[in-house]
Amino acid sequence: MRLRVAVLGAGSWGTTVASLASHNTTTRLWARNPDLAREITEAHTNRRYLTDIRLPEDLKATHDMGEAVGEADVVVMGIPSHGFRSVLAEASRSIRPWVPVISLAKGLEENSQLRMTEIIQEILPGHPAGVLTGPNLAGEIMGGQAAASVIAMEDEKIASQIQDVFRSGLFRVYTNDDVTGCEIAGALKNVIAIAAGMGAGVGVGDNTQAAVITRGLAELTRLGVAMGGHPRTFSGLAGMGDLLATCMSARSRNRHVGVQLGQGRKISEIIDEMHMVAEGVKTCRVVMQLADQYDLEMPIAREVFGAVHGGRTALQAYRGLVRHRPGSENEPG
């Protein structure tokens, strides 16, 4: 039986995932803006988020939440972390019992510090919850370039069924049962990408940026393992793979924020001109709370927090990293 899919959120990644799924099964994309829903259905474009990309003609969009999810066998949440709870609460009134809910968000909820699958379990107890994550830049995938991702769920049987929904052509999907590790990796890599971008903005060399990315991987592994993730997850697609893509790509929103900070711009100005969300801006505050809670040293994340929320310049942040006393590379601290 082909699983019917509803994707909530018509941003660049939500639209991309809906397009991938539409090659395999009936897929309905929910857009908050009725004009955008009409454009996707009738013109087969999403000019605001995916310029010059032709969408599959089989992909239909709607502004009506009940219409989007009422008959869905799988619900995919392509909603950023700050709006995730409210949209899921609205959708919950129409989602049928036991339907799996998959998150695409790579962030943590402010105040509660919850991962997105924890919010799913809170609002829809009994529904299988998972995350689709990895080094996935929407524009490249829609342009037909090869990519790989991970569907992380505790139930491997359900994960393998959903795996078939998303894999398409050159888009490969692997399974992983480490939901916590995959989510923490996806959230924290955005913070490290801001650090990498700041380095590019202030003009540091490749050696420095390589050191920041590598030690950033150590930080996200440290936090992820402390929260219950498996160490091997962080050397895979959800960890190192996503970290590399986000830190290096000119398409990366979080790297863009870092570059602009490195060039001396204020965070408020940078965010105001962006029409897509850079999750690392909000996530770095939550990461610092978690670092304190678990008593972890996370110097790169702390300097990013200082530059984004504490009034420090990118150059001051990098000088702070140089002053941090290094220990053994293989020690957890």
Catalytic residues: 189
Residue type at 259 in one-letter notation: V
Count CB atoms within 10 A of the CB of residue 158.
Answer: 16
With tokens 């009936």, the residue in question is 26
Query: CA nearest 284: which of 200, 193, 213?
Result: 193
Count CB atoms within 10 A of the CB of residue 161.
Answer: 17
Residue type at 75 in one-letter notation: V
Give the pair of three-digit tokens for residue 73: 């066998």
Query: CA nearest 218: which of 189, 179, 178?
Result: 189
Cβ atoms of 70 and 8 closer than 8 Å:
no
DSSP 8-state assignment for residue 4: P
CA distance 14 to 293: 33
Q: Give the torsion sign (CA, 273, 279, 284, 289).
A: positive
Query: CA nearest 61: which of 117, 112, 7, 102?
Result: 7
CA distance 63 to 326: 52
The residues, any chain, with a CB within 8 Å of residue 208's CB and separated by 6 or more, are 199, 318
The residues, any chain, with a CB within 8 Å of residue 118's CB and separated by 6 or more, are none
CA distance 136 to 154: 22
Give the pair of three-digit tokens for residue 84: 């995730």
Q: Label residue 168 exposed, middle or buried (CB < 10 Å: 0-12, 13-18, 19+).
A: middle
